[in-house]
Amino acid sequence: MSNSRFPFFVAKRYFLSQRNIKSISLMLIVLVVQMTFGVVVFIGKAIGVLFTFSPKKIRKTYKGMAEKFIRQNFIQTLSNIAMIGVGFGTAALVIVLSLFNGMERTLTGMFNRHNPELKIEIKEGKSFPYTWTLRDQIEEIEGVQAITEIIEDKVLILYNNKQKVVTMKGVSENFIQQTHIDTTVVLGTNTLYNNDTRYALVGSGVYQELGLRLRDSMHPLQFWYPKRKGKASLDPSKAFNKKIIQAGGVFVAEPQFDQSTVIVSLGFANSLLNYGKLRTGLEIKTDDHTSPEKVKKRLQEVLGDTFIIKTRPEQQAQVLRALKIEKFFTYGTFALILGIASFNVFFALAMLSIEKGHDMNIIKSMGATDGMIRRIFLFEGSLVAVSGAIFGLLSGYVFCIAQEKLKWISTGANNGILDAYPVETRWQDFVIICLTVTTITVLASVIPSRNAVKNTRR
């Protein structure tokens, strides 16, 4: 056996012989069974003792458990506790990071219901003239399938003695091609036109706050907007443009969007706001064979720095950035908890270095160097940590798969959007968790390995 493999062989031999098991994989299976059985027995005993309400029986039960613990190999028990602690910490990291991944996926799906693939806005100002030249320049770009004109502004709406300031979004006729907003309509029609009648699509939050009735010809929605030009008047009502329209449908896309948005036709919005040829934005749909990022690059080259072009992730960048920051700090918190759990590894190795001091002197007399002895204890701590980490990764993965398939942990919302906590496992998270566990446990094993070398010199 080479000198480089000798420390690992000694560490592995001691690690497995303490448990009377010949392979690490079999030990993991036994550990899972023991932990499950132990938790069930402990909970059963605790419930049984508590229902007796007998202090004498409680003392007797836990005295017996303590005596059983003392009779066992203390260092083996401590290393088992270390494995369990690392396992639970690793499983918690897997579950929490997967939960944030699921939340990110859910939020992205909700935003994609109303966000276009590409959105063009003016860099400075609120609106820009939409000329035939600009339209031709955009249509000639490879990958552009449809262009939707947008007029968007804040307006005041009144309905049956109730009022609310909302964002009115005027869209051209091909707007259904851009987003999946038509699939989110839960009441009424999902179109803005029906023969010669125009309708408005209102968010569920607006619908509930105003107590709307759909297609209410007796009490239509009143849209008020300040006049852009005109003489000042003592009568406030003459300072506003007013238009009426019936609410035709209610959509449920994303809570913040639903609370403040009303979608109308481009003609209706233009007649109220008097924008003329001005537009506040353009929404671009790309074909199935071209990625939005490539089309964005071509659009930016043609339009120059006057316009800002955003993809879907960029349109919801603030929300996703906030979620990633929260995910990072949560990861840091659970990594700190995992670091605290690794103190068990530190204490187990510290006790082992004291107990095996005589054996280390014998190995050293046979030619082992200080570096070999140091590596023996480093490998011993790594085996404890890796066993716990593998158990934690498998447990966390199984838990996440069960939650994704069975949805057994509910949010309690029952709104059809997020009934159960969403989870999504990613291999990048597993790599990060493995590196975190390895780093923490190696750091926890450094001092005991040095102390083991010192003990052999006495």
pTM above 0.85, yes or no: no
The b/e string for 224-245 (b: 16+ C-beta within 10 A; e otherwise) is bbeeeeeeeeeeeeeeebebeb
User: What does the pLDDT read at residue 49?
Assistant: 56
Both structure tokens of 57:
């029986």
Whose structure tokens read 């570096």?
371
**What is the structure's pLDDT at 343?**
79
Tokens of 389: 């980490």
Q: Tokens 């046979």 belong to which residue?
A: 366
For tokens 């339209």, the residue is: 135
Three-state secondary-structure class, residue 143: coil
Q: What sign does the CA torsion over 361, 366, 372, 378 have?
A: negative
**Res 80: pLDDT:** 74
CB atoms within 10 A of CB 130: 21
The three-state (H, E, C) secondary structure of 293-326, written as one string: HHHHHHHHHHHHHHEEEEEHHHHCHHHHHHHHHH
Q: What's the confidence (pLDDT) of residue 14?
A: 61
H or E element, residue 287: none
Query: Could you give the angle at the alpha carbon of 276 between the alpha carbons of 273 and 281, nearest 5°?
Result: 80
First to last CA, the chain: 28
Please give the C-alpha separations between residue 189 and each of 182, 201, 261, in angstroms, as whole numbers. Answer: 9, 8, 17
Q: For each of the chain's 458 residues, which pLDDT tens digit applies?
A: 556 666 666 666 666 666 566 666 666 666 666 555 555 665 666 666 555 555 666 566 555 655 555 455 666 777 777 778 888 888 889 999 999 998 888 888 888 888 888 999 998 888 999 988 899 999 899 889 889 999 999 999 999 889 999 999 999 888 877 777 777 888 888 888 877 788 999 999 999 999 998 988 888 999 999 887 656 555 666 778 899 999 989 998 888 888 999 999 999 999 999 998 999 999 999 888 888 899 999 999 888 888 999 998 888 888 888 888 988 998 988 888 888 877 777 777 777 777 777 777 777 777 777 777 787 778 777 777 888 888 888 888 989 998 888 888 777 665 556 677 888 998 899 989 888 888 888 888 887 777 777 766 55
* DSSP summary character for residue 420: B
Q: Are 157 and 220 in contact (CB under 8 A)?
A: no
Q: Are 116 and 148 in contact (CB under 8 A)?
A: yes
Map out the domains of the chain as residue ranges: 16-71, 74-111+319-456, 117-315
pLDDT of residue 168: 94
How far apart are the C-alpha atoms of 293 and 147, rounded to whole Å? Answer: 16
**pLDDT at position 97, please?**
92
The answer to whether residues 94 and 430 touch, using CB atoms and an 8 Å cutoff, is yes
Query: 441, 345 in Cβ contact below 8 A?
Result: yes
> Taking the mean position of all CA atoms in its chain, how far away is CA 285?
27
